[in-house]
Amino acid sequence: MAFPAISLPTNITVTATIKPNSNLKILNKNPPKNPFNSSLKSLTKSGKLDEALQLLESQESSKIDSESYTTLLHSCILNKSVEQGHRVYLHLLLNSNNRYVNDDVILTKLITLFSVCDQLDEARRVFEHGVGNKDRPESVWVAMGIGYSRKGCFREALLVYCEMLERFIEPGNFAFSMALKACSGVLDLRVGRGVHGQIVKSEKGGDQVVYNALLGMYNECGCFRDVLKVFEEMPERNVVSWNSLIAVFVKKIQVFEAFETFRRMQGEGVGYSWVTFTMILAVCSQVTYLYYGREIHSQIVKSNKVPDVVLLNSLLDMYAKCGTMEYCRRVFERMKYRDVTSWNTVINGYAINGLMGESMKLFDDMVGGGVRPDGVTYIALLSGCSHAGLADLGEELFQSMTGDFGIRPSLEHYACLVDILGRAGKIKEALQVVEKMPGKPSGSIWGSLLNSCRLHGNVSLAELVAEQLFEMEPNNCGNYVMLSNIYANAGMWDGVKKVREMMENKGIKKEAGCSWIQVRNKVHTFMAGGGFEFRNSDEYKEVWDELSEAIEKMGYKPDTRVVLHDVSEETKAEWICGHSERLATVFGLIQTGSGIPIRVTKNIRICADCHSWMKYVSEITRRRIIVRDTNRFHHFDQGKCSCNDYW
């Protein structure tokens, strides 16, 4: 009986003929399974790899096939069992008469095994022997490339990819992904664009994994427009794709765009991963978005998945940097597993919120519980001592770091010690630390010393320190501004003019004061001297006038010394009223109900007069006002601040 002819795309015609008496059921009959391989699979799945190897070594070679070897090699890869892997390889060489040594699948498994077991030279030897003068499929080349990438040898991975192309082996999605990740590792945009071109020209095009690798490559190379273009052109997007786009906005500190992308992601029903939440919580930490942070927390609680420690550490950090240490501690206490980062995050949270007593208690609990502190732990503690004025404790901690735990002080630790001594007025001792410390002092160390000169009005030393900073960090605006402020505090207006001319000649501009406050689900931003529409509103004028009258009766007088410009006292007082943190605070008083804390974030250090003003306002309104500046938190409550006027 003849079946109809089948026409192939190559215009070849094939006619199939089957005898009338043939049994069609034979076509559906599966080939018989090798019972030996079934035994091997059973043993490897049970974790009995040594028994499986003994079975292999005692078996007749006629019963062993390629599947036997791939089963054992796959198990060795999963368990990173290099010793057993060598036994399989030796058996291959001695007993297979080279039947299976040159098998493409086995060759790929061997390369993967040795690379995951940190034997890259052995993997390369197997690879070179395998590719020799033979054409090998893409999988063999990709295995070697991934092996290099896994060890951070991205340039070598790209060379493997290029050599594969020279052999006229057409790359597929696995090769594309490997090459793009290698480009990300060495920030090779030129080659990355070349691979992108190959993907576009390929018949099948890229899959999701390839497009996600493209997003990652362009992100690492700083080509944010290309990331957006690739993302919008993707035929399909998964959680990884959306995470890559969010990562771009996080990297560029475009917080609003990051949140907008997250909202869009949720609106399209893509779902999320813990990585998604970790990135969004990091953004919440940067800009004090407590409302969004709590929303993420609620989604974590509602999820049926168990959050990992990285996500929970991000949650701790968010609450700490939003000034809500009670929530931070509550999450910490409920964590089933804590790593050293968990402890460090809460210790640092207490320190930046002015609760050094709690920070030290938790540190004692940490050490008492057998958790070994690291350098980050001591940076948090030393920084807290600096802002709390605990010079003796700071010096004691610096000594114990090496004496008790063998932690070698880094430049950051020395910067903290210099800051501790300098703030406490021990400038001579701070200079001795700088002179005797091993290695060259960093910009942060000289910066700490310059800040100490500002606090204590030491102009002559400030000029010497500033020279060092201008040489090390010629474009750091903060150093010029601080020296200018030191001159202004001393009434040396010629010095102020000289510094401003230096900034103008170098094209350096002072960062404008900016504050923001979140009311419900919306963030409102205020610039120093701006907000004219708000300041001209009837609501603002009414509240401002009532506050001004009340605090004047309590004894408040504007401290015009904070205005470091050679203008009249009247102009200085007017400028102070336009400071961004004040505008944000008044807005919060108007827009929120009584009893609700007002949380303001500022991009630069709060000035002394605004600090005094906040204390009076908190007492009159009986509202908690929490201000986070670049250094720390200030919790104003009933006329007092958590910093005890030492910051």
pLDDT digits (tens, 9 = 90+) for 622-644: 999 999 988 889 999 999 999 88
Burial (Cβ within 10 Å: 0-12, 13-18, ≥19) of residue 233: exposed
Q: pLDDT over 90 for what percent of the chain?
A: 53
pLDDT(351) > 50: yes
Residue 180 tokens, joined: 């793009």
**pLDDT value at position 608?**
84
pLDDT recorded at residue 639: 92
Inter-residue contact 334 to 328 (CB < 8 Å):
no
**Region of poorest pLDDT, from 257-266, 408-417, 524-533:** 524-533
Residue 634 has phi, psi (to 5 degrees) of: -125, 115
Name 35's bridge partners: none
Nearest CA-CA partner of 479 in 514, 457, 503: 503
Q: Give the long-range contacts of residues 424-429, CB within 8 A, separation 24 or more.
A: 424/389, 424/391, 425/456, 426/391, 427/452, 427/453, 427/456, 427/458, 427/461
- For residue 511, give both structure tokens: 């960062």
pLDDT value of position 5: 32
Cα 611 to Cα 604: distance, rounded to the nearest angstrom = 13
Average pLDDT over residues 375-384: 96
Query: How buried is residue 94: exposed, middle or buried, by Cβ count under 10 Å (0-12/13-18/19+)?
Result: exposed
Summarize the confidence of residues 487-498 as an average pLDDT.
88
pLDDT tops 50 at residue 576: yes
Letter for the amino acid at 198?
Q
What was the pLDDT predicted at 491?
86
Strand order in the sheet with 640-641: 522-527, 514-519, 598-602, 625-628, 633-637, 640-641
| Beta-bridge partners for 523 | 518
Residue 363's pLDDT is 97
Q: For residue range 552-565, list pLDDT tens digits in order.
A: 899 988 776 666 56
Identify the pLDDT of residue 251: 84
Strand partners, 527: 514
pLDDT at 175 over 70: yes
The amino acid sitting at 618 is S
Residue 624 has a pLDDT of 94
Q: Which residue has the higher pLDDT, 19 or 601?
A: 601
pLDDT for res 622: 93
pLDDT tops 50 at residue 185:
yes
Distance CA(565)–CA(608), nearest Å, equals 16
Residue 97 confidence (pLDDT): 62
* DSSP-based helix, strand, coil % in the chain, nearest 5: 65, 5, 30
Strands (E) in 451-608, as ranges, are 514-519, 522-527, 598-602
> CA torsion angle for 638, 643, 644, 647 (degrees, to 10)?
-140
The DSSP bridge partners found for residue 636 are 625, 641
32-63: per-residue pLDDT in tens?
566 777 777 777 777 777 887 787 777 776 67
**Span 17-28, average pLDDT:** 44
Q: CA-to-CA distance for 127 and 121, rounded, in angstroms?
A: 10
Residue 372 vs residue 512, higher pLDDT: 372
pLDDT at residue 146 greater than cutoff 50: yes
DSSP string, 76-95: HHHHT-HHHHHHHHHHHHHH
In this structure, is the dihedral angle defined by the CA atoms of residues 426, 447, 558 and 568, taken in order, positive or negative?
Answer: positive
Q: What's the pLDDT at 64?
A: 76
Nearest-5° Cα angle at 435, 429 to 438 = 120
Say which range, 123-137, 414-428, 589-603, has the weakest mean pLDDT: 123-137
What is the reported pLDDT for 13? 34
For 456, the token pair is: 């204590």
Angle between helices 173-186 and 138-150 (to 10 degrees): 20
- The answer on pLDDT for 355 being more than 50 is yes
Radius of gyration of the chain (CA): 33
CA 9 from chain centre, in angstroms, equals: 52
What is the pLDDT at residue 3?
A: 32
d(Cα 353, Cα 325) in Å, to the nearest integer? Answer: 8
User: pLDDT averaged over the chain?
Assistant: 86
Residue 14 confidence (pLDDT) above 60: no
DSSP bridge partners of 517: 524, 600
What is the per-residue pLDDT for 31? Answer: 52
Lowest mean pLDDT among 132-136, 239-243, 534-538: 132-136
Give the tens place of pLDDT for each residue, 202-221.
888 888 899 999 999 999 99
SS (H, E, C) 270-292: CCCCHHHHHHHHHHHHHHCCHHH
**Residues 248, 245: Cα–Cα separation, whole Å:** 5
Q: What's the token pair of residue 253?
A: 């500190």
pLDDT at 405 over 90: yes
| DSSP annotation of 3 | P
CA dihedral 121, 125, 128, 131 (to 10 degrees): -120
pLDDT (0 to 100) of residue 563: 63
The residue behind tokens 């997003």 is 215
| Backbone region of residue 189 per phi and psi (left: phi > 0; alpha: psi in -120 to 50; beta: other values) | alpha
Q: Whose CA is closest to 523, among 349, 275, 350, 322? A: 322
Q: Has residue 25 got a pLDDT over 60? A: no
CA distance 418 to 647: 15
Q: What percent of the chain has pLDDT over 70?
A: 91
- Pairwise CA distance, residues 642 & 647, whole Å: 10
Greater confidence (3 vs 82) lies with: 82
Confidence check: pLDDT of 192 > 70? yes
